[in-house]
Amino acid sequence: MSRRAPRARGRQPAQLVLPLPVNGGLSPQSPAEHGRLRAVDVAHTRLVVVGLCFLLAFCGVVGRLVDLAAGSDPNLGLALANSATWEAARGDIMDRNGVLLATSLPTRSLYADPRDVIDPEHTADRLVALFPELNRSQLLARLTHDGRFAWIKRHLTPREQHAVNRLGLPGIGFRDDQRRVYPQGVVAAHVLGFTDIDSRGLAGVERHFDASLGDGEALRLCLDVRIQQIVREELLAAVREYRAIGGAGLVLDVVTGEVVAMVSLPDFDPNHRGRSDDDTRFNRVTQGVYEMGSTMKLITAAMALDSGAITLTGGYDASQPIRRGGHTIRDYRPQNRWLSLPEILVHSSNIASAHMALDVGGAVQRMYLNQLGMLSPLALELSEVGAPLVPGQWRDINIMTIGFGHGIAVSPLHLAQAVAVIANGGTFMPATIVDRGDRLPEPKPVLSAETSRTMRALMRLNVIMGTGRRADADGLRLGGKTGTAEKIVGGRYMRNARMSSFIGVFPVDSPRYVVLAILDEPQGNRSTHFYATGGWVAAPVVRRIAERIAPVLGVRPVDPADVPRVTGPDGPDRRRHLLLASLRTAIADTEGWRGAPR
């Protein structure tokens, strides 16, 4: 007993480090407990070893990526940066009715790892035989440089990918990619714009909304692809008939400011933007600025009425040309007499409009033009917008020429915005190409409601018996104004280089849409008696557009039997009688107008 006790005491420290039994079944010295503890130690050691292996592997991958990104091929950094974009497709673009205008399709793109290409000469020969558009020398340079990544061909079709796989070339691989496509082709090219090969927006709404579209957000425009197609068809037919070098057309909602259609000709297919040039990509509706000619007389008349410079029964002597500072202002078809305000617009008198602008005055003229948005670039969701060209000094000659549409250059959409104010009751609503829904900005009052009603009657009068007669569409009660402006070429106005236009509003009794058509340097033909003015070549375009889009937009025509006929006696008073009768008809067509002349 005296010998065993010391041995027992010598084992006491070993027992202190063992865990106490929790179930009360085994003692610290039992073989079963000892085996369990050993298994736990082994498992713990294995987990640590496996974790270290994973950590080393991860560090190796990260190090390899850093090494590759620092390589000599700049395309690799771009490819890595775009990998997230390939995983999240670019957002779709739709018209107001949900019709798809732009989307992204998943594709596969071909690349090479030059270090794994065993025979660059053979590889280049085989790939060029499969893709003849590849340049062999450039391809060979990519296959032999020191980097680890080189693009060979982007956006392969499944058939092309299968053909490459059949070649079995070492060092050749595929990456997930996406391709931007435009299902409607040329129809809305200038609004949509396009992207580069890496789906980054370069023009149009693709550029303006590049960040949100790149994050996968969809975009709904206020364009109606049906109206867009109609406007393009009619404008293209006129460009071809009159051999114009280009054209512009649009439909604008006067209540919401939404652009329902926007067409610029010549246009391009965004699916094949590489085949287009600067002229076809130029947006004449928003980017081009032009002297708009006699359509500006509507704005001069509106500001004169609204400021009190003239009344409906007032007028000016247009019997003599105006000579001021080396400039002579003449009428295209002079009446050589005193003209009332309705006659000024009916006969499109430059002389009377210049006198009217002088009565308004330069300060008031600038104020109205500014409130109508015509002195600053468009606040539109496009980067392709032009800045208006305005006089540096607002002298009398500038006031007069602006009064009849020269001396200031604006975009067609600037003009449409201003005419929308004249038609909608006098409030300014900035134009937009994005569907606003119920989120309309606060309209800014510019003209009185009475001025708006009077101007609608005068626009209707111009279509009934003025220069816009060829725009009259049965049952639609359309009003508007023609414009013919000589272009400046080499610092001089050219008589045979014109911008011929017509801007219309319908229906004038409850205005909803502005329609504008412009032809750039049209040539007259037998059907126009070889005239190429706005009344001959542009007014019929607006009429045909209005007739075709009215049923689509839900505008119901009135019964022609309900429209008063303009009749009157023959004799020296016939001209005045017809004018007054036509004015009464125009007023009757303009709902709510009060103050008809007796």
CATH of the domain at 162: 3.90.1310.10
| pLDDT tens per residue across all 598 residues of the chain | 444 444 444 444 444 444 444 444 444 455 666 666 666 676 677 776 667 777 777 766 656 655 544 444 444 444 444 443 345 689 999 999 999 999 999 999 999 999 999 999 999 999 999 999 999 999 999 999 888 999 999 999 999 999 999 999 999 999 999 999 999 999 999 999 999 999 999 999 999 999 999 999 999 999 999 999 999 999 999 999 999 999 999 999 999 999 999 999 999 999 998 888 999 999 999 999 999 999 999 999 999 999 999 999 899 999 999 998 788 999 988 999 999 999 999 999 999 999 999 999 999 999 999 999 999 999 999 999 999 999 999 999 999 999 999 999 999 999 999 999 999 999 999 999 999 888 888 999 999 999 999 999 999 999 998 999 999 998 889 999 999 998 887 777 777 789 999 999 999 988 999 999 999 999 999 999 999 999 999 999 999 999 999 999 999 887 665 554 444 444 445 556 566 767 777 777 775 444 433 3
Q: How far apart, in whole angstroms, are the C-alpha atoms of residue 145 and residue 150?
A: 9
Q: Of 294, 348, 353, 411, which residue is the catalytic one?
A: 294
Query: Cα-Cα-Cα-Cα dihedral of 304, 341, 375, 373, to 10°?
Result: 80
Do 199 and 334 lie in one domain? The reply is no
Do 336 and 417 lie in one domain? The reply is yes
109 is catalytic: no
Q: How far apart, in whole angstroms, are the C-alpha atoms of residue 518 and residue 530?
A: 18
Contact by Cβ (8 Å): 336, 445: no
CATH number for the domain harbouring residue 486: 3.40.710.10
Q: How far apart, in whole angstroms, are the C-alpha atoms of residue 190 and residue 387?
A: 18
Do 186 and 300 lie in one domain? The reply is no
Residue 55: the pLDDT is 73
Domain assignment of residue 152, yes or no: yes
Residue 478: the pLDDT is 94
Neighbouring C-alpha atoms within 13 Å toward the C-beta of 479: 33
Q: How far apart, in whole angstroms, are the C-alpha atoms of residue 63 and residue 289?
A: 55
In order of 301, 416, 488, the CA distances from 390 in angstroms are: 20, 18, 15
Contact by Cβ (8 Å): 101, 204: no
Domain assignment of residue 124, yes or no: yes
Residue 595: the pLDDT is 40
Residue partners of 470: CB distance under 8 A and separation at least 6: 535, 536, 539, 540, 543
Q: How far apart, in whole angstroms, are the C-alpha atoms of residue 409 and residue 388?
A: 6
Which of 476, 492, 508 is the last residue before a domain boundary?
492
Q: pTM of the prediction? A: 0.81
Q: How far apart, in whole angstroms, are the C-alpha atoms of residue 451 and residue 446?
A: 10
Residue 8: the pLDDT is 42
Domain holding 159, by residue range, is 90-226
Do 222 and 335 lie in one domain? The reply is no
Characterize the bridge pairing of strands 219-220 and 93-94.
Answer: parallel
Q: How far apart, in whole angstroms, are the C-alpha atoms of residue 514 and residue 66?
A: 58
Contact by Cβ (8 Å): 388, 375: yes
Q: How far apart, in whole angstroms, are the C-alpha atoms of residue 15 and residue 17?
A: 6
Which of 434, 457, 492 is the last residue before a domain boundary?
492
Q: How far apart, in whole angstroms, are the C-alpha atoms of residue 29 and residue 40?
A: 17
Residue 573's SS3 state is: coil
- Burial readout 295-323 (b: 16 or more C-beta within 10 A, e: otherwise): bbbbbbbbbbbbbebbebeebbebeeebe
Contact by Cβ (8 Å): 423, 253: no
Which of 470, 492, 514 is the last residue before a domain boundary?
492
Contact by Cβ (8 Å): 532, 524: yes
Do 167 and 96 lie in one domain? The reply is yes
Residue 215 structure tokens: 């994050």
Q: What count of residues does the chain have? A: 598
Domain assignment of residue 509, yes or no: no
How many structural domains compose the chain? 2
Q: How far apart, in whole angstroms, are the C-alpha atoms of residue 593 and residue 574?
A: 25
Q: How far apart, in whole angstroms, are the C-alpha atoms of residue 384 and residue 282?
A: 8
| Cis ω before 412 (30° cut-off from 0) | no
β-sheet bridge partners, residue 109: 175
Do 308 and 218 lie in one domain? The reply is no
Sign for the pseudo-dihedral over CA of 23, 28, 31, 34: positive
Beta strands in 182-299 (DSSP E): 194-195, 201-203, 219-220, 246-253, 259-265
